[in-house]
Amino acid sequence: MAIHTDAQGLDARAVTIPVAGGDLPAFQAMPSLGGSFPVVLVVQEIFGVNDHIQDVCRRLAKLGYLALAPELYFRQGDVKAMTDPREIIEKVVSRVPDAQVMADLDDAADFAARGRGDSTRLGITGFCWGGRVAWLYAAHNSRLRASVAWYGRLAGPTDPLHPVHPVEIAGRLHCPVLGLYGALDSSIPLDQVERMRAAVAAARKNAEIVVYPEAGHAFHSDYRPTYHEASARDGWIRMRDWFRQYGVA
């Protein structure tokens, strides 16, 4: 059953962020009182900023964060009515340029800072498609204090819109990155995980990769059959502690 976090004590609502090419829809959650809050950008799975991603934002807000989840492929299409992952990837997700995503995340961070967010305490977390983005953004934004990537792809074919993958930018990471992966994930083989471990070690970058032996892909997605409660709970605690350790608190 999907977890639902209440909004008591929170300011949780839809917002729009001015970006190149239009107004970027997003979901934002933070404590109702106080500020300025550390900021965590939350990056969606292929299914967009759905109820689960909004709930992640509320969970982070309960911990004292301003959590902001932008709809990062609003220019390419709306996936909310789509149910077939292959259709979502083919018709929308594959057409989203990495450069566009990086620029939109920069604008989202600036938007949070113009509100009640503290741009000096900036973190990011992402799931599946967003997990890969969390690695890439750690190599893009030098202001980022910490990143947590949940089962994001690490290697694979490239194309003009997606010219590199995390394993190829390990030496350019600006901040500590925590990677959370499942040993039973058929879409991200363990040899990819080991390649990433070797790449960050060779570059002498601060990155830790945790592999859960009983988890597959999307083990944090409590609304899907892939959910693995023990791994998800442990990963959440590790994420919380990672942010606190590296100044996103």
Query: ω before 142 within 30° of 0 (cis)?
Result: no
Pairing of strands 66-70, 22-31: antiparallel
Token duo for residue 37? 């809050």
Helix (H, G, I), strand (E, B) or coil at 53: helix
Pairing of strands 22-31, 10-19: antiparallel
CB 75 within 8 A of CB 22: yes
- Catalytic-labelled residue, pool 106, 110, 118, 217: 217
* CA atoms within a 13 Å half-sphere pointing along the CA-CB vector of 143: 15
Please confirm, yes or no, whether 217 is among the known catalytic residues.
yes
- Catalytic-labelled residue, pool 52, 104, 128, 222: 128
Helices and strands of the chain, counted as H and E runs:
6, 8
Please confirm, yes or no, whether 4 is among the known catalytic residues.
no
Query: Smallest Cα–Cα separation from 47: which of 86, 16, 100?
Result: 86
CA dihedral over 125, 239, 212, 226, signed as positive or negative? negative
- Catalytic-labelled residue, pool 162, 185, 220, 228: 185
Please confirm, yes or no, whether 128 is among the known catalytic residues.
yes
H helix intervals, the chain:
51-62, 85-91, 98-114, 129-138, 190-202, 229-245
Query: ω before 119 within 30° of 0 (cis)?
Result: no
Residues carrying an active site annotation: 128, 185, 217
